[in-house]
Amino acid sequence: MDCPQTADGMWEAFETMFVSGTENADKPVRVVLGSEGLQFAMNLDLDAALAQISLTRVPAGK
The domains of the chain are located at: 7-57
3-class DSSP assignment, residue 34: strand
pTM value is 0.39
3-class DSSP assignment, residue 22: helix
pLDDT reported for residue 55? 78
Spatial separation of the C-alpha atoms in residues 62 and 25, rounded to whole Å: 31
3-class DSSP assignment, residue 9: helix
pLDDT of 61 higher than 80: no
- C-alpha distances out from residue 13 to 5, 23, 45, 56, Å: 10, 15, 18, 20
pLDDT digits (tens, 9 = 90+) for 4-52: 566 677 677 767 766 655 555 566 556 566 666 677 777 777 777 888 8
